[in-house]
Structure 1
Amino acid sequence: MALTRERNGELSDPRVRRTQAALRSALIDLVQDHDLSRISVADVVEHAGVSRSTFYDHYHDVHELAEAACTAMIDDLIEAIPHPGSKDGPDTATDTLRTFFAHLAEHARLYRSVLGPQGSARVIDHVRRRATVAGYVGARCATTDDQAVAPVDYTAHTPHDVPAAFTAGALIGVATDWLERGCPRSPAEMAALTRPLLTALYHDDNCDADRSGESAV
């Protein structure tokens, strides 16, 4: 499958990267006007200007292409958002959340298809893992005075962190519900509504950790 081939390093070939990028771009364009379920391989290859055999060299079907497009976009999105402690770009949770919801809204049809009831467990798990790492790193940066934070490796293993995992699951749930309802609130409103919930979670967790530390002294 496409994601396995990526992990094995096939994307080191520039031609492979260009072809897969063209196919992902074609699907993203098509899904703006059509439901994913109504888009065929023939539609994608015609829009991308490649042959059917080329498509099947990279993906099994349109759904696998959609998975690849979503995971690639999520990776680009998360890696582009400065984490707390970075001196460049947005440095608040609200800005980060607004960017996250704005990205989902921009590609609402695609994400609604892959995150919904009939969607992709692979994409849901990918988003959950990336969001868990982001939550873990953000919480650690917020509780340190060291502003010289190293770049985050979002593929790295992180310790078991219940608040980070809970936050990731909650965020996916909120985002999926919002998408399925047709994005009734703006990304800014969604950020304003979700930030206090996430802040309260980590505030309570840090307070518990402080109390545990005091009792151990």
Structure 2
Amino acid sequence: MKIKILIISLSIIIFSNLLVMLSILKMHLPYTISMFIFTLLSLLLWFFLLKKDVPLSIKNIDHGTFKASLLLIIITSSLSVFMIATSEVVNYNHIVLMLITAVLVAVYEEIIFRGIGLGSFLSSGISPLRAILLSSVIFSLFHIGYVASIGLDIILLFMNTFMMGFILGTIYYKTKNILLIIVIHFLWDFAVFINQKLPTVEIGTVTTIILFVTTILYFTWSARKVRLSSHLVN
């Protein structure tokens, strides 16, 4: 049963992400439409294949982790408001598109990588640390496909997505609340999307540094927290 959960969950992740990449690269569908279609597809696959084994809860909460996670919510939401307010040219059509894309990406990726992926690893008996590490590596590998160039960009993307995967995985493990990490993922992506569209280089540099430092600090905290939990479990 444990092997079955792992195989099904990995199959859902691989199948869904391959379809997303194929729809963008071969069918030339917009990213937002692809995310919408495969968010629904992923939910259907999870519902029929894994619902009994890996429930997606939004009720449970670890109050300590929730309070610490408010740091990410406050920083990313504040940066988004600041960047929009200080931008010389505010294109509201772009902002709406980025909002929709950030929501769809957050829902899709959290259900796939944390709800189905990490959830199945934890249900199969793998230690919390190994489960979070494995899901973070898978999360990073599937993002590499969106980088056109080979070299430093891939290394930086892998490191960034690995840290974010580990952070979100830790929050999900400690809270068992899929909605909380969807909100954090959405705010983080939205801040990054706006940052990429900023005409002001100075503001973009400052926000990038703030996001990077926040990621490092929270990654260090979450890594320590999950290690302690793994030692207690073992």
TM over 0.5: no
Give the TM-score band, short-chain normalised.
0.3 to 0.5
Relative contact order higher in (CA < 8 Å, ≥ 6 apart): 2
How high is the TM-score relative to the length of structure 2? 0.30
Structure label with greater radius of gyration: 1
Question: Higher helix share goes to which structure?
Answer: 2
